[in-house]
Amino acid sequence: KTWDWAIFIGSLLPPLLLGVAFANIVKGVPIDANMTYTGGFFNLLNPYALIAGLTSVVIFTVYGGLFLSLKTTGKLHDSAISLIKKAGPVSAAFIIALVIATYLSTDITAQLGINPGMIPVGAALAILAAGAFFNQQRQGWAFTMTAVAISLSVISLFEILFPRVMVSSTSADFSLTIYNASSSPYTLRVMTIVALTLVPFVLIYQGWSYWVFRQRITEKSVLEY
């Protein structure tokens, strides 16, 4: 039971904190002229950030359920399908609430960076497609469309914020941008070389591990292990 709770908490916190972090990037946090955070811990746990955090949790609950439905059989597969059916409508409600809260609580409509064009529409269509594929019992395509929706949403967010990378709630002039928050040219060159060297190995390893464990988990395979 201890390890079950440890895995549960360890799986719950990352999406929750990811949603909270992204919400504060968009809404803004107290940053002064020296690019120093001047708020406290509870400034980060504002209602908008908590809505975003919970939205992230329910979205990744659906996403995880879809992954389980692809990788398991029997009772565990049925439990995953049941979870998706319950969490899906909840995630849709939270997404709508987050969109409304973003419109009311942030300045992204007033200070539009790069017009994202049809990308947000593509994200919305991907969500609808994921639901449609799931209802047709095509979990693989539902999983893919959910990943597309998440990716397009993140791309839209940073296009809208550009060139800002973190909004200052103290003053718009104190916001962190790609210009005043970037590293030195030398550091960027070193980071680029390191990334181009190591990232391909990480991607190859991840691809290999998914290929090795591509088969569904069955009761027989667990017993054999």
pLDDT digits (tens, 9 = 90+) for 109-128: 787 778 888 999 999 999 99
Q: What is the pLDDT of residues 123-143, one digit of tens each?
A: 999 999 999 999 999 999 999
The one-letter amino acid at 166: M
Tell me: the pLDDT tens digits for 161-212?
Answer: 888 988 998 888 888 998 888 888 999 999 999 999 999 999 999 999 888 8
Global confidence as pTM: 0.86
Is the C-alpha dihedral spanning 86, 92, 97, 101 positive or negative? positive
Question: Mean pLDDT, to the nearest integer, of 6-16?
Answer: 93
Q: Tens of pLDDT along 40-77?
A: 888 899 999 999 999 999 999 999 999 999 988 888 88
Cα 127 to Cα 116: distance, rounded to the nearest angstrom: 17
Task: Tell me if 58 sits within 8 A of 15, measured CB to CB.
Answer: no
Burial class of 165 by CB neighbour count within 10 A (0 to 12, 13 to 18, 19+): middle
Number of H helices, E strands in the chain: 7, 2
